[in-house]
Amino acid sequence: MTNYISAKNLNKSFGKFQALSNVNVSINKGQIVGLIGSNGAGKTTLINAILGLCSYEGELNVLGYDPHTQRDQLMKEVCFISDVATLPGWIKVREAVQFVEGVHPNFNREKALGLLKQTSIPMDKKVSKLSKGMIVQLHLALIMAIDAKILVLDEPTLGLDIMYRKTFYDQLLGDYFDEERTIIITTHQVDEIENILTDVIFIRDGKIMYDASMEETLSTWKVLDPNKDSIDEARALAPYREMTSLGRTSFVFKGKDSASLKEFGTVSRLSLSDLFVTLMSGEQS
């Protein structure tokens, strides 16, 4: 595998506040990585370090560059998109295309115009006059016309309803992503993206709490919904966590064989959101 991002003992503090603490991560070409954490966990600081937007202590290599000292060279290979609401309302669609063409050397104007021709977006209309769906389409056209090795998406669908969020990810994967690119996504809508991720990283208080492939995650973590007469027997198997919802008891197991658990009830995979809560809560029976 070709390594695109490597961080070793990465630290960042703001006064007495430790935003990143001995962070070690490795992200390779062709991965779609979910960077998951609560507000203030360190997600944005880690992204800012990768993008060369803040200083840091430790080692950080992105596409062979030191982001802090070689940001100009790095940003020719990287695209960063925050939520779609960041497109200024006063700018016209045609002007938005011209702006991106002027700031990113790997932007393909003809490709962007070709993508926009497939929509009903008027080129001379201001962003503020577009529907949410049109703004999503415009943003996607601008993204997919940039030939970048790394795409960082920071809450890219914030404020959009579920249909527009689905459209965003479907088009991103169908028309943009390939094995030569790497995508990093931060979002609080964890369960919506878990089916597109290849890897997941959980961060809390500036520390990496979990870093694994989705394949490993799905095979390692299981949920058992026990039969009523099997609850005590299931509990005796030492589950990682016990959950109660609407009067039903379920157990989270780590590394247990599904076949052995099925003797006591129904076994299913653990969602990313439940895994996040399980690991971040620190609760273990």
CA distance 115 to 94: 13
Percent of the chain with pLDDT over 90: 70
Residues 124, 25 within the same domain: yes
Q: Which structural domain range is residue 47 located in?
A: 3-205
Residues 130, 238 within the same domain: no
Q: What is the CA radius of gyration of the chain?
A: 22
Residues 142, 253 within the same domain: no
pLDDT digits (tens, 9 = 90+) for 128-176: 999 887 888 898 889 889 999 999 998 888 777 788 788 888 888 887 8
Q: Which domain-ending residue is among 177, 205, 233?
A: 205
How many angstroms separate the Cα of 20 from the Cα of each of 50, 80, 207, 278? 12, 20, 6, 22
Is residue 244 domain-resident? Answer: yes
- According to the model, what pLDDT value does residue 282 have? 60
pLDDT digits (tens, 9 = 90+) for 4-30: 999 999 999 999 999 999 999 999 999
> Do residues 68 and 52 lie in contact, with contact meaning Cβ atoms separated by under 8 Å?
yes
Is residue 212 domain-resident? Answer: no
Residues 44, 90 within the same domain: yes
> Do residues 202 and 36 lie in contact, with contact meaning Cβ atoms separated by under 8 Å?
yes
Element (H, E) at 231: helix 231-235
Residues 86, 166 within the same domain: yes
Helix axes 93-103, 132-144, angle to 10 degrees: 30
Residues 145, 42 within the same domain: yes
In this prediction the pTM is 0.89
Asked which of 6-10, 48-52, 177-181 is least confident by mean pLDDT, the reply is: 177-181
Averaged pLDDT, 48-61: 95
Q: What is the dihedral of CA 275, 239, 283, 190, to 10 degrees?
A: 10
CATH of the domain at 166: 3.40.50.300
Q: Which domain-ending residue is among 176, 205, 234?
A: 205
- Mean of the per-residue pLDDT values of the chain: 91
Q: Which domain-ending residue is among 205, 238, 270?
A: 205
Residues 176, 94 within the same domain: yes
Averaged pLDDT, 223-249: 93
CA distance 144 to 135: 14
- For the chain, the domain total comes to 2
Reported as a pLDDT band with limits 50, 70 and 90, residue 284 is: very low
* Residue 85 in this model has a pLDDT that exceeds 70: no
Residues 251, 189 within the same domain: no
Residues 98, 226 within the same domain: no
User: What residue type is 193 in one-letter code?
Assistant: I
Residues 17, 107 within the same domain: yes
